[in-house]
Structure 1
Amino acid sequence: MATYFSRRNLDFLLYEVFHATELTKYPYFEAHDRETFDMVLDSATHIADTLMYPYYRDVDRNQPELKAGKVTVHPKIKEFLTAVGDAGLIGASFPFEQGGQQLPELIGSCMGFIKMAANNGMMYIGLTSGAANLITTFGSENLISTYVPHLLSGKWQGTMALTEPQAGSSLSDITTSAEPLENGSYLIKGQKVFISAGDHDAVDNVVHLMLARIKGAPKGTKGISLFVVPKSRLTDDGTFVDNDVASTGIYHKLGQRGTPAMHLTMGEEDNCYGWLVGEPNRGLNYMFQMMNEARIGVGMTGAAIASAAYYASLEYAKERPQSRRLNEKNLLDSPQTMIINHPDVKRMLLFQKAVVEGSLSLLMECARLSDLVHVTEGEEKENYELLLDLLTPVAKTFPTEMGVRAVSEGLQVLGGYGFTEDFPLEQMYRDIRITPIYEGTTGIQSQDLLGRKMTIKNGKAPRLLFAEIAKTLEEAQTYDELKPYAERLRKETGRIQEVTASLLPFAMQGNIERFLMDATLYMEMFGIVTVAWQWLKQGIAAKKAQLTLGDTEDAFYESKLHTMKFYFHYEVPKTKGLATRLLDTEVLTLETGKEVIL
């Protein structure tokens, strides 16, 4: 079988770090156990091995095409969508009564990781499940019954239709309009751009979850509503007709070429109908549910691509002989060594492993919190929600930004061969580059972290996080080998608090530009420390296993501890430089009254 992820690592995180089976004590998940969890992951792996990974390059080289208003995609995509629909994987986390398997999101996130590691060019079903979930949460019974079963079957595609040419990420500036009609529907008119999976021939219909402004609604974000706008609409006599959603352009992308990114025009013939989801003027609030799900999904995609790149470069390093060990005395007389034996190559591989397994742990932390939000009530539920809200921008940013660096290091391991199409690293490098841009750029996520999440409810969310970290520190202190790393992490949380305290006065003075000037650097520091916490959690689980299992799989657990130490010694020290800049009073990126030529 192809190696693009480690099932052993996935099992370690699921059952030894996050104790996934403990979720089954809650009534909502009581129908499941480890056997059902493993069966679902086996099913996802089988689909990934047979319908996804073998076509990774072919899907990239045979991009979607727009001809005469119709979009064609690689034929294997239809097979893939049929397979995941038949296996119930699109709606795996949905309730039984809606046709789902009522699985924890912790398991669903692992399925997403497996599939994206195999072939991230087939990024279709995350959008569909997100759209179905949004309709289920806020839509009418009629919308749910009309659309959700078809979406979960894999026969229909779901999308997020937000961005417009003149607005970009500034959704308050969208101009797509919605005119109410007497029958309760709305006439939609406008344009949307960069709509992933916005049209293609692998499904029977495409259902857009679209932001638009009802005529007469307030300006800004308060006047935005959410609509279901299908490509083909159902008529009163039970037939489907064209809904005046035209594919007017297709973007040819640097990477992730298997999924079409569409320019859509609605209502050119004044015949595009949409149906309101929930209440008027609350569309952006509703859409944040799908956006936050997508942000974590993008983070998972970054981790998954980095995983595939790590295993590809690891395999190459083990098989490629070049040069001799530096300590060899008779260099020309000794045989060439495999490049994995060179310290700098080993450093690059350890960096990749640390990023992949640390990112995956953070994302699974978020998935577990999502499950706990679902099954708890009152203050406990609120605390889990706050933690999830705080970690979401970090879980989107760290795996994508660091994932880009990790794939770059993987390409470097291959040297000149990595820059060619003979090996998959060049495609992975292209594919992952979009992930720091999707669903809110790194700058937007960073401003969200520092400007909103760190201050919400008088800083309750970070207090909750530091309390969770403190629990990990206390447990780590019981192992002599982990004590130094617990102390390092304790100092790092103090560093975050010091930097935050130095920046908050600017916010209180109303100088928001100065407050958020270096929010991206703050995010980088915060992400490094958050993933250090995840690595310490993995270190604790590894030490526990060594003490209870003896020599069983000792190499696996030693590898975990070694990678944890690498992360603490190579990555964590970078926070010192970031903190130095964040505490610096020199202002260089704001308007100062002096002309600065760029």
Structure 2
Amino acid sequence: MPQYFDRRNLDFLLYEVHDAPELTKYLYFEAHDRETFDLVLDSVTQIADTLMHPHYRDVDRNPPELKDGKVTVHPQIKPFLKAVGEGGLIGAGFPFGKGGQQLPEMVGACVDFIQMAANNGMMYTGLTSGAANLIATFGSPALVDAYVAKMLGGQWQGTMALTEPQAGSSLSDITTTAEPQPDGSYRITGQKVFISAGDLDAVDNVVHLMLVRIKGAPKGTKGISLFVVPKFRLEEDGSFVDNDVTSTGIYHKLGQRGTPAMHLTMGDRGDCHGWLLGEANRGLSYMFQMMNEARIAVGITGAAIASAAYCASLEYARERPQSRRLNEKNQLDSPQTMIINHPDVKRMLLFQKAIVEGSLSLLLESARLSDLAHVSKGEEKENYTLLLELLTPVAKTFPTEMGVRSVNEGLQVLGGYGFTEDFPLEQMYRDIRITTIYEGTTGIQSQDLLGRKMTIQGGKAPRLLFAEIDKTITEANTHETLQPYAKMLGEEIQRLQKVTSTLLPFAQQGDYERFLMDATLYMELFGLVTVAWQWLKQGIVAQNALSDNSPGESNTDFYEGKIQTMKYYFHYEVPKTLGLAKRLQDPEVLTIVKEREVKM
């Protein structure tokens, strides 16, 4: 079985860096320990090894088809959903009282990572879990009883139905409408597009969490409500009938072809019914819970695909002979060397490793904050929540944007073979591209980071983050070998703060277009610095282990590899902040439309 993720690295991050077992001291997580965490990870790995990864290429080459109004997906999807449902993995993070295992989000993030590394084309369970969680959180007892158990059991699929043909990220422009009915339901009319897993024959029902405007509601986002709109609705006699949700079209995609992206039409026959979730006109605030969860999940998907690509690249580089080392190029009688020994190939592999393991650490940091926010109270809870809100757009963006670059480097390692279907890199390159677009493009995430999260509560969130980073710098300074990197990170924090101070006056003056003009560059700068923090945290743990002089030969190699990759990140990736900071502080404006716009 080819490797697609590194379990040793996953254990290192989960247990040694982020100390997941510490959460079990809280009442909510006390039923668990490292043994139960390992059992869950072993279980999902077994499913990934047998039901997912062997079908990676076949799922891509046999995409869903829409015929006579029905969507047929790859036959492997059904046994996969049955296995994860019966194994309790879809609702692993749900409370015991709602059919879950009450596991930490940190463990849940690892479950998602393993699945997506094995076969990201089978991207179904995260959508179902997120939709079921919204129903469990905001739904009436009747809605919870009707939907949640079937969804967590893998029998019913869940979706998030936001986008419309005329309203992409601008959700205030949605036109799908709801009209109250005497039986308490609402009649739904409209269209939704790009609905992942919006229809499939591998489940008995599809449950859409749909943003809709009730007739007469206020304009803009204040008038949006959230509805449960099933493909088949339950009648009073216990039967299920067609709910007038029509699969109008299926999008043929660049990648992630195993999951259908649907164009749906509701109410063609005037018989589509939906049920209000929570209070009217509060739908967007409810949906943001699922959207934020989905943003982290997309970041996990980016890191997971990059992980699979790194494993494939590393395997190829270790087995592919090519030429001689540069200092021996004239020794034609000597055997060829493996390409992993060439400096430029080594650089590309180190880049991949640095991005994959740095991204995963950032994602587990975010999951840890979610867990701590869940079990805390008062100001402590507020602080954890603020930190999570600040890191969410970064945790979505860095693993996806840098993941694309990482897979690109992997393809380059394989050379001409990387461009062929003989190896999986070409598919991974196609698959990962969508992750920078899912749940809000990089531009949207960047505006969220700079325009909202950096200024929330007078800048409290970044102050909390910088305080956490300062703790890591202080700890790193206790190791002489890490002091140069602690110094570098401290300088990067100062640079980031200076850039932020340069931009904030534009917001204070009300010139938001100028303030957010280069928000995407700001995101790139912020991400590089934040992941440098994560690499210094990993470096501290690795150095502590090496200083003990008792890790064993295999562990010594592992920890030394961590130190080497940390050094690579600081010496190769962190210096890129210099150019970004220079541009962000440059007064020259080139992208804001003027009255007399220069033609392009």
For the aligned pair, the TM-score class normalised by the smaller chain equals over 0.9
Secondary structure of 1:275's counterpart equals: strand
Q: Which amino acid aligns with 1:565?
A: K
Aligned to 1:207: 207
Aligned to 2:310: 310
Q: For 1:546 and 1:130, how far apart are their aligned partners in 2?
A: 41
Instruction: Render the CA deviation track for 1:436-471: whole Å, top value 9, x for unaligned.
Output: 000000000000000000000000000000000000
How far the C-alpha of 1:334 sits from its partner, in A, is 1.7
Q: Which amino acid aligns with 1:325?
A: R
Say if 1:93 and 1:551 are closer, same or farther in 2 by CA, change over 3 A.
Answer: closer
Aligned to 1:561: 563
Aligned to 1:578: 580
Instruction: Render the CA deviation track for 1:43-77: whole Å, top value 9, x for unaligned.
Output: 00000000000000000000000000000000000
Secondary structure of 1:422's counterpart equals: coil
Aligned to 2:44: 44
Secondary structure of 1:433's counterpart equals: helix
Q: For 1:330 and 1:241, how far apart are their aligned partners in 2?
A: 76
Instruction: Render the CA deviation track for 1:186-241: whole Å, top value 9, x for unaligned.
Output: 00000000000000000000000000000000110000000000000000111100
Aligned to 1:596: 598
Q: Which amino acid aligns with 1:372?
A: L
Q: For 1:514 and 1:14, how far apart are their aligned partners in 2?
A: 41
Aligned to 2:28: 28
Instruction: Render the CA deviation track for 1:93-142: whole Å, top value 9, x for unaligned.
Output: 00111111000010000000000000000000000000000111111111
Alignment of 1:417-566 (within 5 A): 417-552=417-552, 553-566=555-568
How far the C-alpha of 1:184 sits from its partner, in A, is 1.0
Q: Which amino acid aligns with 2:589?
A: V
Q: Which amino acid aligns with 2:594?
A: T
Alignment of 1:167-566 (within 5 A): 167-328=167-328, 330-552=330-552, 553-566=555-568
Secondary structure of 1:160's counterpart equals: strand
Q: For 1:544 and 1:594, how far apart are their aligned partners in 2?
A: 61
Q: Which amino acid aligns with 2:229?
A: V
Give the RMSD, CA atoms, in angstroms.
0.7
| Conservation of the 8 A alpha-carbon contact between 1:159 and 1:207 | yes
Q: For 1:169 and 1:549, how far apart are their aligned partners in 2?
A: 53
Secondary structure of 1:206's counterpart equals: strand
How far the C-alpha of 1:168 sits from its partner, in A, is 1.1
Aligned to 2:70: 70
Q: For 2:218 and 2:483, how far apart are their aligned partners in 1?
A: 57
Q: For 2:33 and 2:64, how far apart are their aligned partners in 1?
A: 40
Q: Which amino acid aligns with 1:377?
A: K
Alignment of 1:97-116 (within 5 A): 97-116=97-116
How far the C-alpha of 1:551 sits from its partner, in A, is 4.6
Q: For 1:450 and 1:595, how far apart are their aligned partners in 2?
A: 26
| Conservation of the 8 A alpha-carbon contact between 2:300 and 2:399 | yes
Q: For 1:489 and 1:137, how far apart are their aligned partners in 2?
A: 40
Instruction: Render the CA deviation track for 1:337-384: whole Å, top value 9, x for unaligned.
Output: 100000000000000000000000000000000000110000000000
Alignment TM-score, normalising by the size of structure 1 = 0.99
Q: For 1:415 and 1:329, how far apart are their aligned partners in 2?
A: 20
Instruction: Render the CA deviation track for 1:295-336: whole Å, top value 9, x for unaligned.
Output: 000000000000000000100000000111000163322211
Instruction: Render the CA deviation track for 1:4-58: whole Å, top value 9, x for unaligned.
Output: 0000000000110011100000000000000000000000000000000000000
Say if 1:26 and 1:189 are closer, same or farther in 2 by CA, change over 3 A.
Answer: same
Secondary structure of 1:233's counterpart equals: strand
Q: Which amino acid aligns with 2:446?
A: S
Q: For 2:118 and 2:597, how far apart are their aligned partners in 1?
A: 50
Q: For 1:584 and 1:592, how far apart are their aligned partners in 2?
A: 18
Alignment of 1:138-149 (within 5 A): 138-149=138-149
Secondary structure of 2:166's counterpart equals: coil
Say if 1:402 and 1:273 are closer, same or farther in 2 by CA, change over 3 A.
Answer: same
How far the C-alpha of 1:151 sits from its partner, in A, is 0.3
Q: For 1:217 and 1:303, how far apart are their aligned partners in 2?
A: 41
Q: For 1:230 and 1:331, how far apart are their aligned partners in 2?
A: 70
Secondary structure of 2:270's counterpart equals: coil
| Conservation of the 8 A alpha-carbon contact between 2:545 and 2:551 | no
Q: Which amino acid aligns with 1:191?
A: Q
Tell me, yes or no, if structure 1 residue 93 matches structure 2 residue 83: no
| Conservation of the 8 A alpha-carbon contact between 1:303 and 1:400 | yes
Q: For 1:472 and 1:147, how far apart are their aligned partners in 2?
A: 44
Alignment TM-score, normalising by the size of structure 2 = 0.99
Secondary structure of 1:572's counterpart equals: helix
Secondary structure of 2:253's counterpart equals: coil
Q: For 1:79 and 1:390, how far apart are their aligned partners in 2?
A: 38
| Conservation of the 8 A alpha-carbon contact between 1:2 and 1:49 | no
Q: For 2:96 and 2:354, how far apart are their aligned partners in 1?
A: 37
Secondary structure of 2:249's counterpart equals: strand
Secondary structure of 2:211's counterpart equals: strand
Q: For 2:276 and 2:549, how far apart are their aligned partners in 1?
A: 57
Matched pairs, number = 598
Q: Which amino acid aligns with 1:438?
A: Y
| Conservation of the 8 A alpha-carbon contact between 1:420 and 1:426 | yes
| Conservation of the 8 A alpha-carbon contact between 2:303 and 2:356 | yes
| Conservation of the 8 A alpha-carbon contact between 1:187 and 1:274 | yes
Secondary structure of 1:517's counterpart equals: coil
How far the C-alpha of 1:546 sits from its partner, in A, is 1.3
Taking only the aligned residue pairs, the percentage that are identical comes to: 78
Q: For 2:267 and 2:401, how far apart are their aligned partners in 1?
A: 38
Q: Extract unaligned runs of 5+ from structure 1.
A: none
